Structure 1
Amino acid sequence: MSGLMVHAQDNQVDSLKKILLYQKEDTNRVKILNQLSSLTIKTPEAIEFAKEAVSLSEKISYPKGKALGLKNLGLYYFLKSDYIHAEEYWKPALQEYSSLKDESGKANILNNFGSINFQQGNSSRAMEYFMHSLESAQKANDTVRIATALNNVGIIYMAKPNTFDLAIDYLNKALHIAQLINDKPEMGVSYVNLGEIYYDKREDSASFYNLFKATEVFDPTDELLPYALNFIGKLYLRKGQKDLALNYLEEALKKSTEIGNKLYMAQSLNIIAQFYEDQDMHDKATVYFDKARMLAAEIKAGEELKKAYSGLSLTFSAKNDFRNAYKYSNLSALLADSLFKFAADSAQLKYTVGLKEKQIDILNKEKDLKDLDIKRQKIQKNGLMAGLGLIFIIVGILYRDYRNKVKTNTLLDHQKAEIEGLLLNILPAEVAHELQTEGQATPKYFDHAAVLFTDFKGFTKLADVLSPQELVAELNDCFMAFDDIIEKHKLEKIKTIGDSYMCAGGIPTPDPAATMNMIEASFDIIEYLKNWNAKRIEKGLAPWELRIGIHVGPLVAGVVGKKKYAYDIWGSTVNIASRMESAGEPGQVNVSSSVYDIIKHRYHCKYRGKISAKNIGEIDMYFVENQKIRQEDLVLFEDVSES
């Protein structure tokens, strides 16, 4: 999909260039130049377009075009982490927007200045810019800028554990606004930062949930995608799943390198370096820490530079190179002092901002009290006249309520039972109970869960020869039978997507037998379809051919939606199970090597080769053919051995 988008963008650039050849020197030419600059913002070509837009805008007295051209020039350098040149262009851009009284434009530039200061470790100045940006965005009623500013204020409050709750509040407000306007980049920002906070709070399930949601809404070329991948890698490290962790960390480094974001490159390098240091691979760790040091120093990223210094001090100490160990330890301490000063400034700013907010609250409360006093006087004036009438009305209502009390309670009990039944049809019992009692269902991380996908081969061709009613009726017959089978084997249906059926085992309650149960359910599904197809063939109808794929591994499960609840699962385990299904063959159960390791003592399996999976690498595949020992024989064997 991203390839198609890039191709479409290239076509748009080519078309605009052709128009530019014949466009005279007017405001339309400036607009085209600025549009070309935005479309090519990650390439040096963007500079030429933006500079021409600024120059022509000055010539024809078009301040709006000049402001946008200056903004694009600053953005090009910001994306290259060249903050000095970015500021040089954004300062006059801010002056232009201020002269135009363009609050939305001001909000944008103020936010950008805040981002520069935040990246350089100056949180106090960053907060000041973000609060001014929020003020301008609210004046302009610009929901996009409001969401951006709320997100960024939340990011500042993420710096200290004692302000985590404030951060979560701001980020959730930003997420709500972004969802209302379907702004996926801002949704992604909220999700990824909530994921980071929950990571720091050691609430891993909530962290996984938000980070995976971030990867879903981010475009593959989004600047923040590597940041989310880094944290997923760190979460897997905490879980002890080192291979998965390294895959995500290396993917984050690859993405940040492709995008050209040196800050996220430095972050990835630092985390990977720490990974190797923890494995006592000191030479490899030194290489990665040193790369992170050079990048962080180049872009003046204080926090990442401090991590690189500390890491180098540790690696050189482990290699008995105490001269270099002392050198980097000293550099780390000096940098820490500098960053501490910024943190102290930030604390003072937080107090000032909080004081202003309290002053506003007091003024609002005074106004509310005055309004309340006026209303009370009006009520006292008219109260005597209305009193008797009100008493008669209340008596009538009470009498009516008394007569209908039993009937109402019966109706409420019936409705409550219907709601509970409906929830149990949609959600697992444990999750439904939590939703009813707590008002929300917390996402949970499972170390070991089994996921099954089915899909009908050639379903599109079947759909072409059947009427809509026949197609849905026959598909419904199959899925109802699948529902009965997975319920029999204590599995959990997740959802159907077109002609694909998805279920899981070991959730929401962990079950050591989930994988075996899923294999048995798979054979029951194949047997059902075999009998069902036999009846179709007797009627002269074409059979339906089904592929089945299974994988076992870690995942996150939780409830999504606000008006229509859905219990869903996320993680690489789900993706690999889907790959197992698509790489399978009709009438066969195709499983990964992790499933094979669990079932090989009971089932004959046929090796099929390898398949490539994103962020994982190559995975072995097997067809499950038949049981080595029948279940009833296994029970008899156990009885004999016990006697």
Structure 2
Amino acid sequence: MTEGKRTFSFCKGCSSSVILTAVLLFLSMGIQAQETQIDSLINILEKGKRDTAEVNTLNLLSLAVLSNEDIESAIAYARKASDLAAEINYEAGRALAQKYIGLGHYYQGNYLAVMDHWTQSLESFEKVRDTSGMANILNNLGGVYLSQGGSDKALDYYLQSLYFAEKTKDTFRITSVLPNIGAVYGDLKDYEKALEYFERLENYLPAIQNPQITTYYYMGVGEIYNKLEQYDRALEAYQWALPLTENTSDYAHILKEMGVIENARGNRDKAIEYLNLAYKTAKEKNQQLETLNSLIGLGGMYKNTNFKKAVDLYEEAESLAVELQTNKGLRDIYQGLSETHAANGNFNKAYEYQTKFLAQKDSIYNIETDDKIRGLQFDFENQQNQDKIGLLNKEKEIATLQAKRQKYVIYGTIISLILVFVMA
């Protein structure tokens, strides 16, 4: 099956009106129930004993206040749950507590702390042989690596997550990780493989009727078709996704992507309109990462036509990227500033930013944490030979992708250096 001939139905069996209704219903119920739930859990906690029930209540309270964007309280409740769980030897409760502590740190952008706590969560899930929990944490760990530009490492964890999810036939976990695997293959430029995983996901959509997963499907397919320069298909996918995300953090992201696509189609004014709307939406909702991405996109729109405006946009983005500690964002900014200064004839400045671009490394790779994860033994009792074969196949696939990734890194670096020396 060739890339150009592959077609997707965009889940015609998944009515967008039904999904949108489900999103709105979920949001309205969540808002009304949230404060009541927190008060109820606090009352239970005040009457509780130091037992597994109290650990469970603390974990539920952590998740509830996190949903209410009280991150510090969420981490504090989860720490209490973890300490008590360790004291009474309640490993399952500790697994969830460490997961929620990590989640709180993720929202704060403290990725090394995230890795530490999610690694501990993974170890606890392994001890109690909770394969669904392991699949969840492995998927989350992959997300951290991917956000820092570590596609090959992300794929490693995503494939392990898929293995355990399929082993337990956990449809939710399977459909949660499939779009992530597709996205990584897209990042590694293996678009045929990426579309295969999104096609696998598409088969689940009519049955699960999950608006979030459906949105990720549309967004993922849109991104791949964008990279394949099949812009009409890409725009169609994002247009399906947009109404599903109006009240979510993905709305600004989709607007930004639609701006990028319109620019590629030659509709510069429409592109700037979408990017400005993405920036405004993200800014109003205090979505810093999407604000950053919109600024980078707008900088790219002006780098060849309005030098001052482009530099101002990139410099605003740089301040935000430093605050968020996002290496990928800084790489994109420095590349954009290098190209902007080159277009303006300032080759010394272009070289300076190109050097900064090349210097950005994936600092998330903490060797101790990575070894700790890789050292985990998935030694479940009565594991069948077919399970072992399946895992070996996943590992073989990972090794192949790592070799391919290394080739892209080497070639990409050489090309960048050649461009620098030509400009200088």
Structure 2 length-normalised TM: 0.73
Give the AA of the match of 1:171.
F
Question: What is the deviation of 1:320?
Answer: 5.7
CA distance 1:184–1:285, shift in 2 (3 Å): same
Distance (whole Å) between structure 2 residues aligned to residue 82 and residue 253 of structure 1 = 24
Establish whether residue 228 from structure 1 lines up as the match of residue 272 from structure 2: no
Q: Paired residue for 2:102?
A: 74
Secondary structure at the aligned position of 2:50 is classed as coil
Q: Paired residue for 2:150?
A: 122
5 Å matches for 1:262-301?
Answer: 262-278=288-304, 280-299=305-324, 301=326
CA distance 1:108–1:29, shift in 2 (3 Å): same
Question: What is the deviation of 1:299?
Answer: 4.8
Q: Paired residue for 1:177?
A: 204
Q: 1:89 aligns with which of 104, 117, 138?
A: 117
Establish whether residue 14 from structure 1 lines up as the match of residue 31 from structure 2: no
Secondary structure at the aligned position of 1:307 is classed as helix
Contact 2:132 2:168 (C-alpha < 8 Å) held by counterparts: yes
Distance (whole Å) between structure 1 residues aligned to residue 292 and residue 183 of structure 2 = 19
5 Å matches for 1:252-271?
Answer: 252-257=278-283, 262-271=288-297
Question: What is the deviation of 1:112?
Answer: 1.2
CA distance 1:335–1:318, shift in 2 (3 Å): same
Distance (whole Å) between structure 2 residues aligned to residue 270 and residue 127 of structure 1 = 26
Which one has a bigger Cα radius of gyration? 1
Distance (whole Å) between structure 1 residues aligned to residue 45 and residue 287 of structure 2 = 31
CA distance 1:209–1:77, shift in 2 (3 Å): same
Contact 1:83 1:299 (C-alpha < 8 Å) held by counterparts: no
CA distance 1:184–1:123, shift in 2 (3 Å): same
Structure with the higher fraction of residues in strand conformation:
1
Identity across the alignment (%): 30
Question: What is the deviation of 1:228?
Answer: 1.8
Distance (whole Å) between structure 1 residues aligned to residue 140 and residue 398 of structure 2 = 23
Question: What is the deviation of 1:208?
Answer: 1.8
Distance (whole Å) between structure 2 residues aligned to residue 209 and residue 11 of structure 1 = 41
Distance (whole Å) between structure 1 residues aligned to residue 236 and residue 274 of structure 2 = 16
Unaligned runs of 5+ in 2: 1-23, 364-392, 402-424
5 Å matches for 1:166-565?
Answer: 166-218=193-245, 220-222=247-249, 224-257=250-283, 262-278=288-304, 280-299=305-324, 301-317=326-342, 322-335=347-360, 352-353=396-397
Secondary structure at the aligned position of 1:353 is classed as helix
Secondary structure at the aligned position of 2:354 is classed as helix
Distance (whole Å) between structure 1 residues aligned to residue 180 and residue 253 of structure 2 = 15
Structure with the higher fraction of residues in helix conformation:
2
Q: Deviations over 1:228-248 (max 9, x none)?
A: 221112123334444543343
Deviates more, 1:50-59 or 1:316-325: 316-325
Give the AA of the match of 1:205.
D
Distance (whole Å) between structure 2 residues aligned to residue 260 and residue 175 of structure 1 = 32
Distance (whole Å) between structure 2 residues aligned to residue 24 and residue 58 of structure 1 = 15
Aligned residues: 345
Distance (whole Å) between structure 2 residues aligned to residue 16 and residue 73 of structure 1 = 18
Distance (whole Å) between structure 2 residues aligned to residue 25 and residue 336 of structure 1 = 45
Structure 1 length-normalised TM: 0.49
Give the AA of the match of 1:217.
L
Distance (whole Å) between structure 2 residues aligned to residue 245 and residue 289 of structure 1 = 17
Question: What is the deviation of 1:327?
Answer: 1.1
Contact 1:121 1:301 (C-alpha < 8 Å) held by counterparts: no
Unaligned runs of 5+ in 1: 339-348, 358-643
CA distance 1:270–1:25, shift in 2 (3 Å): same
Q: Deviations over 1:375-408 (max 9, x none)?
A: xxxxxxxxxxxxxxxxxxxxxxxxxxxxxxxxxx
